[in-house]
Amino acid sequence: MASNPNKCYLYAYEVYMTAGQAALKGASLGYSLLSIDSKEENDELIDIIINCNGPACGSAWIGLKYDNDSSINSWVDGYPLSFTSINESSPYCDDGFVGEKYFLSWDGFWYNCPATSYKGRVHGALYEYRTDCPKGWLQSKVDSTKCINTQTNKQSFMNASMIACGALSSNANVAQVFSADANHELMVTATAEAAVCEKFYIDLVFTDHWQWFGGNGQNVTYFNWKQGYPINQTTINCVMLDIEDGTWTNENCTQIGCFICEKSLAQIAN
């Protein structure tokens, strides 16, 4: 989703769908009913349900549930309830708001009246698939085991590698590049910061040969040097990726610059 890069959505349209049918369809698809984390996400979803290309549009079940015993609302996927748009004043609901499931309406509000009291006009359901990357990190589409984070708080290479990436998330390091596809992905991802930085540090360094500083034992099998590079590699021994064309230049390691961090999904819990 544009408002949440770590989430993909599916809108399952039906002219009429009950809350129970929405839950069963989610189970058959292997998706959870969607949770909404922000006003921006809510606004994006309103556009989706209004423009459904069906005979009736403008509402869809979401993953918010109401517990009548505790009077508590919660998301079925277990994510924290950080944003709400609940409205209990609408004439759409005429049953005293005893419904246990919520739907998103065209007006941006969430209602928990059963479909029967809404005249049977809940037109489908919204489902989600979340990546496992933390907020602020993007899951790599080239290597789904990695999360990526571009940083514009300029640092020397050593500070970026030893301090800044780890401060974002433990066990994170400067990004390593093993293929042309991975290099292209980093270039495209970092282009969003083009107004701040033209180049970003990657993890490549020269000692007596080019190697990944992160020390995971993997050999450097891919290079994408800009024409004429590397130069004086024994003294200019760090590398930056140019987001204009994805090529690499070797730079002095003390030069401050933007950088790209990465983290393995296996380490997210750490």
Q: Is the pLDDT of residue 99 over 80?
A: no
What's the pLDDT score for residue 216? 62
- In terms of pLDDT, which residue wins out, 120 or 191? 191
- Pick from 34-38, 133-137, 156-160, 266-270 the range whose average pLDDT is largest: 156-160
The one-letter code for the residue type at 26 is G
Mean pLDDT of 37-54: 91
Q: Inform me whether the pLDDT recorded for 269 exceeds 60.
A: no
Cis before residue 230, ω within 30 degrees of 0?
yes
Q: How far is CA 4 from the centre of its chain?
A: 5
In the chain, what are the domain boundaries? 7-130, 138-267
Instruction: Identify the DSSP state of 209.
Output: S
What pLDDT was estimated at residue 107? 92
138-267 matches 7-130 in CATH topology:
yes
Conformation bin of residue 38: beta by default, left when phi > 0, alpha when psi is -120 to 50: beta
What is the distance of C-alpha 69 from the center of its chain? 34
218-245 pLDDT, tens digit each: 678 899 999 999 999 999 999 999 999 9
The CA distance from 238 to 55, in Å, is: 59
Whether domain 138-267 has CATH 1.20.1260.10: the reply is no
Give CA–CA dist 168/249, Å, rounded. Answer: 26
Q: Say whether pTM exceeds 0.75.
A: no
What CATH architecture is 7-130?
A: Roll (3.10)
| Confidence class for position 2, pLDDT limits 50, 70, 90 | confident
Say if residue 119's pLDDT is above 70: no
pLDDT, one tens digit per residue, over 100-111 is 889 999 999 998
Tell me the pLDDT tens digit for each residue of 124-172.
999 987 666 777 788 888 887 888 999 999 999 999 999 999 898 878 9
pLDDT at 218: 65
